[in-house]
Structure 1
Amino acid sequence: MPWRETLSPVRMERVALVAPLEARLEMLTEVARSEAVELDLPYEPGTGPEEYNRAAEAAVVHGPVAALVGWSPSRALPDLQSALEPHGASAVVIRRPQGAQPPTLLTGDEPRRRQVPALSRLLVDTYTTVPYADLDPARIAGVAYVVMFGMMFGDAGQGALLVIAGLMIRFLKVPWLERFRRTWLFITGAGLAAVFFGFLYGEFFGPTGVIPVLWLDPLEEPIPLLVAAVVLGAALLAGSYALGTINRVREGGWGYALYARSGLAGALLFAAVGLVAWGLLASSPLILVIAGVAALLALVLMFIGLFTESGGGATGGLQASVELVDSVVQLGSNLVSFARLAAFGLTHAALMMVVWQATSALWAPDWRAVLAILVFIIGNALTFALEGLVAGIQALRLEYYELFSRVFQDEGRRFRPWNPEANDPSVTAEVSAPVERHHP
């Protein structure tokens, strides 16, 4: 499957299921078996034999024909059509109601190929259901997460332990590991990121001197590390604005994206902040003037969008002004928030230095060597557990509050295929004839 298809929800079609009156139950049996249609029913669908009768009775009847409408993945329609033809029924694609949002079915979640979702998928699902019109950032979010984790947990030795743990979960055929199987790639990726930053920091179970410092020592050069964390955050924010702009265009067109805080207007303001930083570093008045013009244009566009959303008038103007100031402050705070990547990286390095210094102080060619080894092992274990938990939580916090808040503006709804037998395998379609319900 082309990787581009994994970035968007599966294409949905509005369909009408049409069958002769006497074939309604057969049609519904095939629909349930295919798990390819979410029916629009005037009640909450249930399970059990009676559900077939209820759905049949909800059909619109016109002369000898009964019809139901719903949503179906476009690539599931050929198989559904083939299954319905022997019963004289059909699934007809109809026009989508104006303003209706189709349900979301993500690639890999189709009923016939459904798998346990990867943790990168759960990162997004825990935050929201991807709207049908939006791009699905699950894979990109997974990469961003492990990079942020690695920067805070930079230690080649402890990262290698994570890699080993991930590979063991993947390849060891141990029953109690089955429940963790979906996490293996995520854990391995986080471990590789930690190994990478560990080599950059010269950390191997602490500042042991086993590997040289390839970039900087966090405790010796905290300011460059802080700057690097903010630069990485700026790159991630730029990516979130790019995804947000694409989503705003897909949701409401270029006009909607132009004035949105998470669309072109917000991206332009963010670019203006970058130009200001560039202009100050380069001591270039021209760049600063361009940055000022870009910022002014962005603020005007954002105000127009906020004013329109508020309903206009004096109250709307006041509300738009407050939200505009809040947007500017929020942008600055979100950018600075990525400094925690450096802060927790420093914390990790400091804790490991304490462990290593204690180990070195105790080491001697006698019984104290055993004590030194115990201090080294216990210190590493405690730091591993504590910093692993902290880095995991902080990376998740940055993902949700700083990045996803720009990628998503609305919440979608999941595709729920109609299938009365989904939770009750013993149910069959052996039901009595339904009561006809005629509509003028």
Structure 2
Amino acid sequence: MRRCDGGSTAGGLLERLGRPRAAPRARSGPAPGGAQPRGAGSRTGRQQGRPPPSEVTLPAIFQPAASLVALYGTPGHDEINPALVLALTTPLFFGMMFGDVGYGLVLLAATVAARRQLGQWTPVAVTCSLASAGFGLLCGSVFGVEHWLPAVWLRPVEEPFRLLAAALWAGVAFIFTTFVLKASTLFRQGRRLEACIGLPGGAGALAYAGAVLGVRALYAQQGVPLIAWGAVLAGTTTAALYAVLEIRAHGRSKMADLASDYFHLLLTLLTNTLSFLRLAAFAMSHAALSTALFLVLETIPQTPAWWAVRIPVLLLGATLILVLHTLVVAIQTIRLEFYEGLTRYYRGDGRPYRPLSFPARTPT
């Protein structure tokens, strides 16, 4: 069987960027002045059965995403750090669900004003605010008004099916990336066969790509292309071969575990893909909320005497839209990243590396 080469995959880039590495070993011998280092004991972490700590190194541009990764857990020494993926996809998801130039710039100004309170979350909020303003330019939306700017891409309310299709394709690309990351992680753990022909690795990615091509052809009322049939058949066949090899190696007790894992993976593939429809749903809900605010304003007379009522209603409504939609979209973005993404390829059960420190010597 031809051995797969992990260096040629996209996972190779991710291993070089933000790659957790085992922490350096402490020097042997007594500490300076005979002091016992803090955290050091008679038994090392390896002797206690714990994994070695990992030291995460990231380029400065990807440091903001490290805060999101830390919410889920520290990368293990044999895992790929997902900060690169989160740094790219988190602003993308947030901006697509909250695409508005006006609200995005207001959110950016609020982030800069509250940067001390936000602390390490300030860069994440800044990138999401800029993404919101950027998608607002693509959709031609300024504070919910869609006739001030031309739409470079589309208008969510006028082209909902096109927006839904874009959300689904974003989900397909994201889930396919998780297969690549899972296969790369399996390579790092020495499970090369599973990375190549296991369902969580290469075989699953092949079958998933074929299934997506087949569904797309059926939706377009075309015949399923031969390449789609071949990809699904090759993926399922190699996954079945891997299952047989595992059962022969570990006995029939492995059969129930594999059946449960494979069934859960196939079931979640469908639900995870459809879950990305929320990208389009919340984009359209933002337009609907803005329309509702404008309808309320139309019930107030436009005479100068009523401007004292119209202006507070407008400011209150816009503030409610900004606060509520920001909170909801932020929660949905984290959900997509964690549940649809990290749970598929990342454990996050590592231990952060903390250098040994020595107590200060008091002069005698």
In which range does the TM-score fall when normalised by the shorter chain? Answer: 0.7 to 0.9
Partner of 1:193: 131
Cα offset, 1:242, TM superposition: 1.7
Partner of 1:290: 230
Cα offset, 1:193, TM superposition: 1.0
Between Structure 1 and Structure 2, whose CA radius of gyration is higher?
1
TM-score w.r.t. length of structure 1:
0.70
Q: 1:312 pairs with 251, 257, 282, which one?
A: 251
Partner of 1:131: 76
Partner of 1:264: 202
Partner of 1:242: 180
Cα offset, 1:104, TM superposition: 0.7
Partner of 2:8: none
Distance 1:261 1:288, change over 3 A: closer
Partner of 2:19: 8
Query: Which ranges of 4 or more aligned residues in structure 1 deviate by more than 4 Å?
Result: 2-6, 13-16, 304-309
CA offsets, 1:389-431, max 9 Å, x none?
000001101100111112314622222333254xxxxx42779
Partner of 2:361: 428
Equivalent AA in structure 1 for residue 42 of structure 2: L
Does 274-283 or 123-132 show the bigger shift?
A: 274-283
- Identity of matched residues, %: 28
Residues 15 and 70, structure 1, Cα contact 8 Å, conserved in 2: no
Partner of 2:315: 377
Distance 1:159 1:250, change over 3 A: same
Equivalent positions of 1:51-200 (< 5 A) are: 101-107=51-57, 119-169=64-114, 177-200=115-138
Partner of 1:41: 42
Equivalent AA in structure 1 for residue 207 of structure 2: L
Q: Distance in 2 between matches of 1:40 and 1:304?
A: 45
Equivalent AA in structure 1 for residue 105 of structure 2: A
Distance 1:305 1:205, change over 3 A: farther
Equivalent AA in structure 1 for residue 251 of structure 2: G
Distance 1:4 1:263, change over 3 A: closer
> SS of the residue aligned with 2:190?
helix
Cα offset, 1:285, TM superposition: 3.8
Cα offset, 1:268, TM superposition: 2.2
Equivalent AA in structure 1 for residue 57 of structure 2: T
Q: Distance in 1 between matches of 2:268 and 2:241?
A: 17
TM-score w.r.t. length of structure 2:
0.83
Partner of 2:9: none
Cα offset, 1:204, TM superposition: 0.8
Q: Distance in 1 between matches of 2:53 and 2:22?
A: 10
Distance 1:137 1:316, change over 3 A: closer
Equivalent AA in structure 2 for residue 355 of structure 1: L
Q: Distance in 2 between matches of 1:108 and 1:228?
A: 31
Residues 167 and 279, structure 2, Cα contact 8 Å, conserved in 1: yes
Does 208-217 or 123-132 show the bigger shift?
A: 208-217
Equivalent AA in structure 1 for residue 88 of structure 2: V
Partner of 2:350: 412
Cα offset, 1:385, TM superposition: 0.7
Q: Distance in 1 between matches of 2:348 and 2:200?
A: 12
State the aligned residue count. Answer: 348
Equivalent AA in structure 1 for residue 139 of structure 2: Y
Residues 22 and 53, structure 2, Cα contact 8 Å, conserved in 1: no
> SS of the residue aligned with 2:28?
strand
Distance 1:217 1:193, change over 3 A: same
1:333 pairs with 2:266: no
> SS of the residue aligned with 2:57?
coil
Distance 1:343 1:306, change over 3 A: farther
Equivalent positions of 1:270-281 (< 5 A) are: 270-280=208-218, 281=220
Cα offset, 1:162, TM superposition: 1.7
Q: Distance in 2 between matches of 1:28 and 1:417?
A: 18
Residues 54 and 77, structure 2, Cα contact 8 Å, conserved in 1: yes
Q: 1:393 pairs with 326, 331, 338, which one?
A: 331
